[in-house]
Structure 1
């Protein structure tokens, strides 16, 4: 396949995203069953399977689109265009390393921004929004397709811009009508919120406020799995504090294509089934964020 300045249709990109995610995920599944080789840092874990999975995902993308840009976790970015691929080869590395079966692969395609997008980028910066915005768009490009693959049950959630989100033939809808007090909310902390003391304190405030309002605060350490649960209607909301882009971008597209309300609030990203619920979740954010 040859590249051009034309951006492939989101549905076509979604096929590649799913194929790449499944290729990487199958590698993870084999490694999980054979035993995990991991290196533990103070606030992160690196697994050998992470690098093998990343190689499979990137190879799959490059075979189809050798001129596209690729931003993956374990290697230097590959420049190109007009599409950039965000690859999280092992979402839930800590879970994987200790043998907890909650991990996934996420692959997202976005159209790279051009000079014509500069007014939108300036508007995004002006209102404090960075990365992927509330409407599923990014300050540096549009999200087009995303796939989140869970290797053990072999299920893949796919979001296609303007065409919805689905698992197999089942359309996903972020419908959730239970009161918040009887519901579960996901709290996701990006690496900055883990490493920075001020952000850790602010995140603890968010955790306490969410606990006061909901039945349970879920911290799975696999954010992309939380996003798929939310898109299925299983969670009452997701609150991300300084989210990592490769995890948040697919989540934003899954949420918006599943019909959810989403918003940036400073460097926090939130999603809920309704605008009213979204406003309630925003009340948990302290001014320090």
Structure 2
């Protein structure tokens, strides 16, 4: 594990301690609505501060893109942070949320950490070094198509003007699969694809901090992450498809009829 990954893991665990401290007394946490169906808590902010303090302590010149505090200027090294991915789950006591930290250097993801403090599961990846869960190597599933596949997704909850199109995608994908799951933390969904727990995943309208670390996990676990057209512009469109190679290809085929100029791929 590189020095940078060690620091990212330390930062993720620091944020995890903050989130765990309040999870069993969520009634004491202040919840604010940022926009329709999009919430932030004092815990999100405190966890983000814990991450930034760890990173700034070692890398004061690095840039940071954080969900709650936005962009912090720096050099070509950029940390992309989601201190609590799955806040809605968190405030309802639903046990599916995580901490996500990724490092992008000159536009390319170089390392990623997704940490589930509830279950003590730490997913890590470095470019060229593979993906791991608690230091054990992980791989995407070897499923050959949609038949029998378990697929993860996220239902549009902020801007719902693509909801009807999403429901069409859902209908197209659910027909031959073993089922569709919507747990509520995109970062963990990507980690589960990397670990072979999900065969594939797609979602519309994400933010970079939702998938930056997870996308590298999937790639380093032998999978593929693209936009809806199969290209590499998912950081621009924030519409993402991920999975093992054959499942990913099958998903793109089913999703293709729903992509047009009104829904950037």
Which residue of the partner structure matches residue 287 of structure 1?
259
Q: Distance in 1 between matches of 2:70 and 2:208?
A: 16
SS of equivalent to 2:69: coil
The aligned length equals 248
2:131 and 2:221 in contact (8 A); partners too: yes
Q: Distance in 2 between matches of 1:256 and 1:270?
A: 12
2:145 and 2:247 in contact (8 A); partners too: no
Where does structure 1 lack aligned partners over 5 or more consecutive residues?
Answer: 1-9, 114-140
SS of equivalent to 1:284: helix
Which residue of the partner structure matches residue 32 of structure 2?
39
Which residue of the partner structure matches residue 126 of structure 1?
none
SS of equivalent to 1:198: coil
Q: Distance in 2 between matches of 1:154 and 1:246?
A: 21
SS of equivalent to 2:125: strand
Which residue of the partner structure matches residue 208 of structure 1?
171
Cα drift, residue 73 of structure 1: 1.0
Which residue of the partner structure matches residue 130 of structure 1?
none
Q: Does 1:26 align with 2:26?
A: no
SS of equivalent to 2:242: strand
Q: Which range is displaced more, 24-33 or 205-214? A: 205-214
Cα drift, residue 179 of structure 1: 5.5
- Are residues 281 and 65 of structure 1, via their aligned partners in 2, closer, same or farther at CA, if it must alter by over 3 Å? same
- Are residues 281 and 100 of structure 1, via their aligned partners in 2, closer, same or farther at CA, if it must alter by over 3 Å? same
Q: Does 1:101 align with 2:95?
A: yes
Per-residue CA distance 1:175-209 (angstroms, 9 max, x = gap): 233763322101135xxx53334322221211121
Alignment of 1:167-246 (within 5 A): 167-177=133-143, 180-189=146-155, 193-246=156-209
Cα drift, residue 89 of structure 1: 0.4
Q: Does 1:257 align with 2:228?
A: no
Where does structure 2 lack aligned partners over 5 or more consecutive residues?
Answer: 230-236
1:238 and 1:271 in contact (8 A); partners too: yes
- Scaled by the length of structure 1, the TM-score of the pair is 0.81
Computed over aligned residues only, the root mean square deviation of the Cα atoms, in angstroms, reads 1.8
Q: Does 1:65 align with 2:59?
A: yes
Q: Distance in 1 between matches of 2:22 and 2:159?
A: 32
SS of equivalent to 1:95: helix
SS of equivalent to 1:221: coil
Per-residue CA distance 1:9-63 (angstroms, 9 max, x = gap): x832211111111100110011102324223453112211111111101111000
Per-residue CA distance 1:119-173 (angstroms, 9 max, x = gap): xxxxxxxxxxxxxxxxxxxxxx110111001011222100101101112221010
